Each structure stands twice: as structure tokens, then as C-alpha cells.
Copies of this chain bind each other. A is one copy, B any other.
Amino acid sequence: IAKEVAKLLEMKAQLGEEGKPKFVLKTPKGTRDYSPKQMAIRERVFSAIITCFKRHGAEVIDTPVFELKETLTGKYGEDSKLIYDLKDQGGELLSLRYDLTVPFARYLAMNKITNIKRYHIAKVYRRDNPAMTRGRYREFYQCDFDIAGQFDPMIPDAECLKIVHEILSELQLGDFLIKVNDRRILDGMFAVCGVPDSKFRTICSSVDKLDKMLWEDVRSEMVAEKELSPETADRIGEYVRLHGGLELIEQLLQDPRLSQNKLAKEGLGDMKLLFEYLTLFGITGKVRRCWGQEEPRAPQLRMLTGFCVPQICFDLSLARGLDYYTGVIFEAVLVQQENDHVEEPVGSVGSVAGGGRYDGLVGMFDPKGRKVPCVGVSIGIERIFSIMEQKVEASAEKIRTTETQVLVASAQKKLLEERLKLISELWDAGIKAEMLYKKNPKLLNQLQYCEDTGVPLVAIVGEQELKDGVVKLRVVATREEVDVRRENLVEEIKTRTSHS
């Protein structure tokens, strides 16, 4: 009894003064539910992405949503503070995965896999400041494709960029730009500009902010906060405003300072190879842009002449925050959406994909430090979802959220048993069928249900039809009705719905 009383008191405590529940009815901060309509759009996006990953011969794996806390330690630099930890309830200390790359590296090391091409689509977790209208969530999907193994240089790297290009083209999100750089070029550049070794990473994160901040502000941060000499900062400034294609790479290979640096030279050599492969893939060309009446907002883009812009661009300002990259890095941004009237700060065009080479990460997990070179890409689909949602909204396209082919209906009362028998026959024959869960539904309500949900056919049982051994099949769109012999009903439904 004491237990029950305690339980009642606990229940009472949960209620407010007027008997209302005290708790707030919501999802956690930075998360959301997906409604059936949103799921329909999500499945379309996933389908396009998975089709592409499979086209490139990828296998698929899955890993747990949480990892041992120590598995994630020391992999994310300054972003580590954004990791969700689980409460210590006895046993292991756990954290929610922050990305799919570290679990992938852990998976490779644990299973001693030295060679795999896999994709992984799953949710990851970051205690970031959410900006949900712009598609930034604390729980969000990543669609990762990675190639692990010791191969000849830049062939897998080029394939990753080809994949980004294919997916963004396929999804028809408007114009996009894939920026490419290399950690070795960045490090070499820092070295020749006079940045002390110990400051490479922190200066790298300053450079990483160039997509959101003006150079002047980034420079101040470097000089004032990070104590770089103004001359060093200015030398960096000269480099990071550069972007272009093969000709820029050639030019930098001749650069008197950069060409003296081993790392930079390696990086530039590989970058040249990469652009040659991308040219063979046919994706280094320029595309015609339709600005409409507006001028591009991102200053970088304003600098590009005329109406032709490249879709892939070597960009020395691209840094990317994560610690584990060792070679090529890249990021894809959408440049100006049609109908995108939201005022956003200069340059905050949305990043929708990113990736790079991380040759040291697997070795961090291997007991003997054996390395497995890896390169991969991660498609961030939340922003893609919101764009697709807006598009669907604007197009007034009616999205069906079920695939039901036929509603089993009755014309008179007392036919529930007959409906149950018929629907069961249809289900067993693989027909997607529904019925209203009422004993005696009105025919009008049953037809209305089809109108509302887009069910194309109605199979109507009535007393006369039962006597005649037929079912009345009604086409919702045309209101045409035909009597179909019961034994032919399944075939008839299949034929009539095969086009959809």
C-alpha cells in the first residue's frame, strides 16, 4: 500500500495546480519530429543519395548511436565541447556519436579492415546552437561515403568529389560550388608566412571562419587574440584570397616561397592531379548562372566575372575545423537560391557537403598504430530537406503519404464481415488495401476518405454484388464503376495501379 501511495503522490506531483501536467510538451532543443509528409520528402532525398552511393559500388554498414567516451576523445579539436555525454549510471562512460567518420575509423581498426568502400546514413549529435529555420539541428542526419585503403594518389579523392557533384546535380537544388583545398597546402602556407608550428591548428580555425567573417575581422583575431605578427597575418591574407582552377595551381607551383616548402609542394602536386582527374570526369567546367536581378551576396562570388561560374574551385581560404584531416579537404555550398528572400549575413550560403582525406585516424585506434588511408564525403541533408520542403510547398504538388491502392468499402449496413473477408484476400495477394474501422460506414464517407488521401480505387461490396459473385470497382478520379468478378479482382487492381 505504501508503494501505491508513493506512486499516487508521485503522479500528483507531476500535475500542476489545476490538475494540468506541469511538463512542457515538446521535443528536446534542436530536435524535431518528422511528419508523414516530411518523411515522404526525406525518403526522396535519401533515395537519390543511396542510389548514387550504390552506383559507385559502396557497401553499407551501421554502428551504435553511442561510443565509449574515450573513442571520441581527441578527435574533434575545439568542437569536442559539443559532444553529448551519457549519464554515468554505472558501467562504461558513453557519448553520442559526433559524426560517422570516427566510428568508421574505430570499426576499421577493430575489425582489422584495410580496404573498404562503404556508406553509412545515420543521425549524429552536436550540442551546438541550433538555427532550425536554416537547417541547423542538434540531432541531424549525415550521409557518409568513404573509401579506405592504400591506393594510387587522388583517384578515390576525385571519386568523392564526383559523388558530391552527382548528388547536388540530381537533387536540383540550384547552383552550387565545391571548394577544394589541402591541409598540406595550408600548413605549408602557414610555414612560409612565418606562423610558428604550434599555432598551425589555431590559425587554421581562424581561416576556417572566412566563410562567415570578413578578412579584416579574421586578421584582427589572428593578430590580437592569437598573437601573430601583422606581417605574417598579411602574408596569409595574400594567399587566402586566392581561388581558381588548374592555372592557379600551376602559378602556386611556381610561387617562390610555397615551392620551397615540401608539404605545400606535395599538396599542390596532388591538387594538380586531382583537377586533371576531375576534368576527365567532366566536372571542372563552368556553368551559366541565372542571377535574376540580384547581385550575388557572397563577395567571393562577386569577384567571379560575368555569368559563368565554376562548380569546383581550388580555394585557399577553405580550412575545415576538424582535427583529423591530413590531405585534400572540400566543402560544397549552395550559392543563392531562387526565391530565397531570407536576409542572411554575407557569405552564409549553406554548406551541404564536406569531406576530405584522413590518413591518420584509423592508426589512432590501432593498437600497433597501423595506418589505413581514408578519404570520404559527408552529405548534410537537413538544409537540403528544408529547401526541398519549401520547393514542394511552393509547387503545390500534392504528396501522398501512403501507397494504398484500394479502399474496401460497403454500400449497405451489416457488411463488416464481408469487408473483412475481402480485405484479407487482397492483403494476402499483396494488394495495398485499407478499410474504415467502422461497422457501418456511410458510402459517402468512404469515398471522401479516398479523395482526401489519394487512394485511387474503391472495391465496393453490396448485397447484390455478393449474390452475383462480383465486386464493384470504382475509379476515384473518373467516378467510373465496373463490376469485376471476384476471382479477377486482384489482377484488375494490379493492372489499374501498375502505372503509378
Contacts and interface: CB of A to CB of B under 8 A. Distances in A.
Interface of A: 1, 3-4, 10-11, 14, 19-21, 23-29, 31-36, 39, 42-43, 54-68, 70-71, 73-74, 84-89, 91-92, 94, 96, 106-107, 109-111, 116-118, 123, 125, 127, 139, 147, 149, 151-152, 155-156, 158-159, 162, 166, 198, 202, 277, 280-282, 364-365, 367-369, 401-404, 416-417, 420-421, 424, 427-428, 430-434, 437-439
Contacts of A420: 155, 158, 277, 280-281
Given A85-B86, A86-B84, A437-B147, A64 B11 contact: no
Given A86-B86, A152-B438, A281-B420, A25 B56 contact: no
Given A28-B94, A84-B87, 18 more contacts: A1-B198, A14-B74, A21-B365, A23-B68, A25-B367, A27-B63, A27-B67, A55-B427, A57-B403, A58-B402, A65-B65, A65-B96, A87-B88, A151-B437, A158-B420, A162-B424, A166-B427, A281-B424
A33 B155 contact: no
A304 to B, nearest CB: 25
A150 to B, nearest CB: 9
Contacts of A438: 151-152, 155
Of the candidates A28, A149, A404, A428, the one having the most CB atoms from chain B within 10 angstroms of its own CB is A28
A64 to B, nearest CB: 4
B33 A64 contact: yes
A437 B149 contact: yes
Contact of A59 (B1, B64, B281, B401): B401
A198 B35 contact: no
A367 B106 CA distance: 45
Contact of A57 (B19, B87, B156, B432): B432
A149 B57 CA distance: 45
B34 A437 contact: no
A76 B346 CA distance: 50
Contacts of A33: 61-64, 107, 110-111
Contacts of A280: 417, 420-421, 424
Contacts of A434: 56-57, 117
A162 B166 CA distance: 43
Contacts of A151: 437-438
Of the candidates A139, A156, A424, A433, the one having the most CB atoms from chain B within 10 angstroms of its own CB is A424
Contacts of A14: 70, 73-74
Given A27-B64, A431-B55, A86 B87 contact: yes
A482 to B, nearest CB: 23
A106 B96 CA distance: 23
A123 B96 CA distance: 14
A60 B36 contact: yes
Q: Which 5 A-B pairs have the closest CB atoms?
A: A36-B59, A151-B437, A57-B434, A31-B64, A85-B87
A466 B27 CA distance: 60
Contacts of A92: 28-29
Nearest to A281: B424
Nearest to A88: B87
Contacts of A74: 10-11, 14
B39 A152 contact: no
Nearest to A27: B64
Contacts of A152: 437-439
A94 B151 CA distance: 44
A124 to B, nearest CB: 10
Contact of A25 (B34, B109, B417, B439): B109
B367 A424 contact: no
A369 B331 CA distance: 49
A57 B32 CA distance: 24
B57 A404 contact: yes
Nearest to A422: B280
19 contacts: A1-B198, A21-B367, A23-B71, A27-B63, A34-B63, A35-B111, A36-B59, A55-B431, A55-B433, A56-B427, A56-B433, A57-B404, A65-B65, A84-B87, A85-B89, A86-B86, A117-B434, A155-B420, A166-B427
Contacts of A365: 21, 25
